[in-house]
A and B are shown apart, each in its own frame.
Chain A
Amino acid sequence: MRTVEPGPAAVRARRPALRVPGRQPLLAVVLLALSSLCALSLGTPTVPPHRLVGAVLEGDTTLAGIVVNELRVPRLVLALVAGACLGAAGLVLQEALRNPLAVPEMLGVSSGAALGVAAPLVLALSLPAAVQPLLAIGGAVLGGGLTLLAAGLGRSPSAVLLTGAAVAAALQAALLVLMVMADQLDLQLIYRYLLGSLSARTWDDVTGLWPWLLVAVPALVLCAPVLSVMRLGDEDAEALGVRAQRARLAALAIAVVLIAPVTAVCGPVAWVGFLAPHLARWFNPGADAVRWLCWSAVWGAVVVTAADVPARLALAPVETPVGAWTALLGVPAGVALMRSRGRGRVRRAAAASGTSGTVPGNAKTVPSAGADRALAPAHDPRGDAPGNARPDPGAVNGTEDAR
C-alpha cells in the first residue's frame, strides 16, 4: 500500500531517467488510478475491483453499494478536489511571491482558517453550515494579510517566511487556548479537524465546495498567464505591462479563496501546497507557469488521494488524519526535490560567476527557480540539465498571452 505514497518519487530524485517529459502523465495517471482503486475497494467490507461497477449500480440495495456510494465515492471526490485546490493554491502562492517555500502553512493562512472554523465550535455558537467557509476565509485572510502586511510584499523570501512563522505561531497559540477551554469530546473533534481529516465526509461536504470552485477556477485561468510574467521579476513584468503589485494581490486572493473552503471542509491538510508544485516543477523544469499550474493541481490530487489510503487503513480500526501523513511524507520529499534542484542551481551560478563575474540573483534573495532562470545569463557553459538553463520558450508564450 505504501508504494502508492509520494515518497518513492523523491527517492528516485537522483535518477534523471524519470524526468523524460512523457513519463509525467503516465506516472500521475497510474498513481491516481491505483490509489483511487485502493480507496474504493479496500476497507471493511472489501469490494473487489471487478465488483465495483456492480456495487455502484446496485445503489442502496446492498451493503457494499451503500458503503461505496455514500462513503467511499464522496470521500474520493473530496480528496481529489481538495488536493487539486491545495496544489494549485500552493503554486500560485509560490509564483506570486517568487518564493519556493511560500506555502499556506508558513504564511499563517492555514492556521487562520483553522482558527476561524474552530472558534465557533468551542464557543458553542450554532451557525448555519453555509457560514463556515466564510469564517474560514475570514481567518485565512486575517492570517495571510497579517503576514504580508508585517513583512511587506517586496521583501526577501526568508523575511516573509520568518514573519509568517511568527504569525502562524501566534494564531496557533490562540487556537491552543481555545483547545484548552474545550471539553474532552470537542477536543477530540477539533484535534482531528486540525490535522486535516477526510473521514466521515459525505456528499453534502462535497457540494458545499462547488460554489467556491465556480469562483476560483475561472479566476485561476485568468491569472495563470500573468503568473508566467511575474516570474521574470517585478521590473520586467512592469515593463511588459503587468501591474505587478496588483497582480500579486489578486493571486493571493485567489489562493485564499482556494484554500479556505477546503480548510473549512477537511481541515488544513498540511504541506500539499508545498509538495505538489515542487513535483510539477521537478518533472518538467522547462515549462511555464500555466503548465505547472495544471500539473500542480494534478499532483496535489494524487498526493492527497494516495495519502488518504494509509490514513484510512494503516492503523485500522483507528483512522489517522490524512494531514499527518502528508506532513510526514510531504515535507521530506519536498525538501529533497528542492535540494536536488537547488544543487543544480548553485553549480550553474558558480559557473556563471566564473565566466561573466556576476552572481545572478543572489545579492538579496534566495530566488525561486523561475526568477533565477530569468536572471541567469543564458550562456551556461556546462548546461547540466537540458532545458534547465536556457530561457524557455514557454515564458515567452506566456508573455504574449498576457498582452
Chain B
Amino acid sequence: MKRRFAVTAALAVVCAGVELVAGRGMSPGAVWDVLGGGGDATERHILLQLRLPRMLVALGAGASLAVAGLVLQSALRNPLAGPEVTGVTPGAVLGAVTATALGLAGWDSPLAVVLAACVGGCAGAALLWLLAGRGRGDPAQTAVQGVLVSAVLGGLTAMVLLVEPGELGSVVQWLVGTTEGRVWEHWHLLWPWALVWGAAAWLLAGPLTLLRCGDDIALTAGLAARRARTLALLCAVALTAGAVAAVGALGFVGLLVPHLAVAVHGADLRAGLPGAALLGAVVVCGADAAAQLSSRLLAAGLDADRLTLPVGALTACLGAALLLVVVRRTPSRTF
C-alpha cells in the first residue's frame, strides 16, 4: 500500500515538473536557472507568477474533482455517478455564469463565484434527484437522466450567455475547462476551500466505505445512512464547485479517476480517498502538460501562433476513449 502511494506521489511530482518546463516562452535550461536563483526578470516572472500557480491550480482542481467523484459514486452506490453526469458540474457552471452576468460576482470577487457555483451545483443535483425520484435503482438510467438534466442546464447557461454576450469570450475557455492564465489569486482561493472540504470528505471516509456495502449493512453497523449520505453529497458538491470555479468544467475527471483509484488503492476509502486525490492531481496535471506540449508542437507544425489546446478537451477525449473501452468490455452487463 505504501509503495503504491509512493509511486503515485512520485508520478505527481514528475507531472508537476513536466508541467513547469512544458510551456512556451522559455527553455528548460532557463527554468533550471531560475530555480537556482538566476535568470532575468521576465523569466522569473513567467516561472513564479504564471507557471507555478498554474501547476498548483491544476493539481488542486484535479484532486478536488477526483475526490468529489469518488464520494459521489460511493454515496449513491452508482459506478456511473460523476459530477458531470449528476448535474453538479453543469449546475455549477450555470450558477457561476449567472452570478457573473447579474453582476453579483466578477472575476475580481472570486469568492462570490465559488459560492454561486456551489449553489448552482446543489440546484443541479436537486434537479436530478427530482427527476430520478426516490427509487434510484438502475445506475445506467440515473446516468441517462443526468445527461438530460445536463442538457436543460446547458440550455439555461446558453440563455444567460446570449443575454450577456460580453462575457462569452472569457467564458468559453471555462466551459471546456482550462488552466490557461490561472494566477496566484485562483490558487489562494482554491486551496483553503479544497482543504476544508477534502478534510471533511476524509472524515467521512469510514461511513462512506460502509455506504458502499449497501444501506442494510450500513444500518446494521449503526450508521445513520441518510444523514451520512446527505453530508457526503454536500461535500462532493462543494468540492466540485470549487474546482469548477477555478478551472471550469473539466470533462470526465470526476467520472473515471475514481475507478482508477479504486483499482489501484482498493475499495477502503480511508486509503482510497487520498489515493484518488493524488491520482486526480496526476491526471489533470499530466493532461495539462501534454496539452501544452502538443499545442506547442502543433503550433510549430501548422505554423499557427494562436493555437492553444485547453486541457479540458484533452481530458474529455481521454475520458471518452476510456468510457468506450469500459462499455465495450462489459458485454453481459446491461448498463
Q: List the interface of chain A (C-beta within 8 A of B).
A: 101, 105-106, 150-151, 155-156, 158-159, 161-163, 165-167, 169-170, 172-174, 176-177, 179-181, 184, 187-188, 191-192, 195, 270-271, 315, 318, 320-321, 323-325, 327-328, 331-332, 335, 364-366
| Least CB distance, A159 to chain B, in whole angstroms | 6
CA distance A101 to B148 in the complex (A): 10
Q: Are A170 and B156 in contact (CB under 8 A)?
A: no
* Interface presence of B313 (CB below 8 A): yes
Whether B328 lies near A150 (C-beta < 8 A) is: yes
Bound form: Cα–Cα A366–B137 in Å: 13
CA distance A174 to B314 in the complex (A): 9
The residue on B at minimum CB distance from A178 is B313
Which A residues are CB-close (under 8 A) to B156? 324, 328
Contact in complex: B310, A158 (CB < 8 Å): no
Which residues of B have CB within 8 Å of A187?
168-169, 172
Q: A151-B327, A331-B152 are in contact. Are A173 and B176 (CB under 8 A)?
A: yes
Q: Evaluate whether A173 and B316 lie within 8 angstroms (CB atoms) in the complex, with A180-B176, A192-B162, A315-B163 already known.
A: yes
B199 within 8 Å of A (CB atoms): no
Residue of B nearest to A160 (CB): B327
Instruction: Report whether B151 and A271 are in contact in the complex, using a CB–CB cutoff of 8 Å.
Output: yes
CA distance A192 to B172 in the complex (A): 13
Which of B147, B309, B310 interacts with A106 by CB under 8 Å? B147
Total residue contacts A-B, CB cutoff 8 A: 143
Point out the residues of chain A lying under 8 angstroms from B310, CB to CB. 176-177, 180
Most buried by B among A180, A332, A365: A180
Q: Are B148 and A162 in contact (CB under 8 A)?
A: no
B interface residues (Cβ-Cβ under 8 A, vs A) = 80, 85, 131, 138, 140-141, 143-145, 147-148, 151-152, 154-156, 158-159, 161-163, 165, 168-169, 172-173, 175-176, 178, 251-252, 306-310, 312-314, 316-317, 319-321, 323-324, 327-328, 331, 334-335
Question: Cβ of A181: which chain B residues have Cβ within 8 Å of it?
Answer: 306-308
**B312 contacts which of A173, A320, A335 (Cβ < 8 Å)?**
A173
Q: Which of A151, A159, A325 contacts B334 (CB 8 A)?
A: A159
Question: Contacts of A150 on B, CB cut-off 8 Å?
Answer: 324, 327-328
Given contacts A158-B335, A159-B334, A165-B147, contact A170 B317 (CB under 8 A): yes
> Judging by beta carbons under 8 Å apart, are A177 and B141 in contact?
no
CA A45 – CA B140 in complex, angstroms?
50
Q: Give the chain B neighbours of A156 by CB distance below 8 A.
A: 334-335
Q: Is the interface of A mostly helix, strand, loop or mixed?
A: helix
Of all chain B residues, the one with the shortest Cβ separation from A332 is B152
Q: Which residue of B lies closest to A164 (CB)?
A: B147
A161 contact set on B, CB distance < 8 A:
140, 144, 147
Which residue from chain B places its CB closest to the CB of A194 in the assembled complex?
B158
Report yes or no: A191 in contact with B161, Cβ–Cβ below 8 A.
Answer: yes
Task: Report Cα–Cα, A323/B162, bound state, in Å.
Answer: 12
Determine whether the beta carbon of A169 is less than 8 Å from that of B251.
yes
- For residue A332, give the distance in angstroms from its CB to the closest CB of chain B: 7
Picked from B172, B252, B319, the residue with its CB within 8 Å of the CB of A180 is B172
In the bound complex, do residue A166 and residue B324 qualify as a contact, i.e. CB atoms below 8 Å apart? yes
Q: A158-B335, A176-B176 are in contact. Are A320 and B140 (CB under 8 A)?
A: no
> B313 near A174 (CB under 8 angstroms)?
yes
Cβ of B155 and Cβ of A176 under 8 Å apart?
no
Cβ contacts under 8 Å, A169 to chain B? 251-252, 316, 319-320
Interface contact A365-B334, CB-CB below 8 Å: yes
* Bound-complex Cα distance A339 to B172 (A): 34
Q: Is A327's CB under 8 angstroms from B151's CB? A: yes
Q: Which residues of A contact B317 (CB under 8 A)?
A: 170, 173-174
A327 contacts B152, CB within 8 Å? yes
| Residues from chain A with Cβ under 8 Å of B141 in the complex | 158, 366
